[in-house]
Amino acid sequence: MVERVLLAEPRGFCAGVEMAIKSLTWMVNIFEPPVYCYHEIVHNQAVVAAFERAGVIFVDDITEVPEGSPVMLSAHGSAPEIVAEASQRAAVMVDAVCPLVTKVHHEVKLMAKKDYDIIYVGHEGHDEAVGAVAEAPGAVTLIDPDQGLGSFQPKDPGRVALLAQTTLGMHEWEGVLDDAAVRYPELITARRSDLCYATTNRQTAIRQLAQEADTILVVGSKNSSNTQALVRVGRKEGTPSYRVDGPEDIKPEWLEGSRVVGVTAGASAPDQRVREVIAAINPTQGDSPLALTDEDEYFPLPPMLRQFVKILQTVVEAAFAVRKPNLPGPIEMDPEHSATGALDLLGV
């Protein structure tokens, strides 16, 4: 019987996911359904299901969006042609791309403009990798971290740059980086690692968790790259680690003989599901946090959405003569609200 659950901190939603979920919540509150979203807003089944119940239709082909409909682009980043097509088709188009992904897109364009061959380390078919490579397909070679550089041959060994999907495991990025640095001594990389701060923090936390827990459960969906990376890190540290979407996925044999179970969550997993997993484990001595660092990053809502909400606020205030100068409006108060609270309203 499990005596105690150690709960990793930080875990769960990162600033980019917070921004994306709150943005789509705004969309379903402003517009009559359906609201369209290109790709899953984040890679989590519970979050996607909640928005589907609220009237969101997720599409993988932007041409499926009827002209004149409101549309949001997912947090993972989209190809330039998708952004352009969405802008033309939609009455209102909001791009909820994570700012850290946008940074990588800018780096791809900059390196391509300077005629570098770009190694992009990522998983083939992942939404983020597809969008980044599309920024300069003629200059970018997608390298799977499990396969390494292989037969990659640049035009000029002196002009090679290396960039990465933000949700990779640290050990995956470092392996390819070290190999590339040996092959190409003049290798150019970003001034800071492309790996998301939240990805790095959660991987550091699970390493500590692995030292103190007999078994680790990682809450998150199968198509969540950062969730899968957490499982790999836990196993690499020598602790049995398993991914679960929720309590229904827990297999009793995983917990047999485990006195302490570690629980963490990928960056797109809602805390509601984490609490359900802890309840299912039912530790006799309850749960306690294993805190490594605090996260206070905040990403503002996308510019187009901020502008649209402020226009609506002005129209409503003018119609009802309720303008109150110098008082904060809903956009200014956004940092006080959480994606977890938004999902509570949607019934996750």
Residues annotated catalytic, as ranges: 128
Q: Which two tokens stand for residue 222?
A: 């199968």
Location of structure tokens 């949700």: 167
Q: Which two tokens stand for residue 111?
A: 């390196």
Are 229 and 168 a contacting pair, CB within 8 Å? yes
Q: Which two tokens stand for residue 249?
A: 């996925």
Identify the CA nearest to 259 among candidates 225, 283, 294.
283
Which conformational region is residue 197 in: left (phi greater than 0), alpha (psi within -120 to 50 degrees), or beta?
alpha
Total count of residues recorded for the chain: 348
How far is Cα 92 from Cα 55, in angstroms, rounded to an integer?
A: 16
Assign 147 to helix, strand or coil: coil
Residues 6+ apart with CB under 8 A from 303: none
How far is Cα 95 from Cα 256, in angstroms, rounded to an integer?
A: 46
Residues 6+ apart with CB under 8 A from 113: none
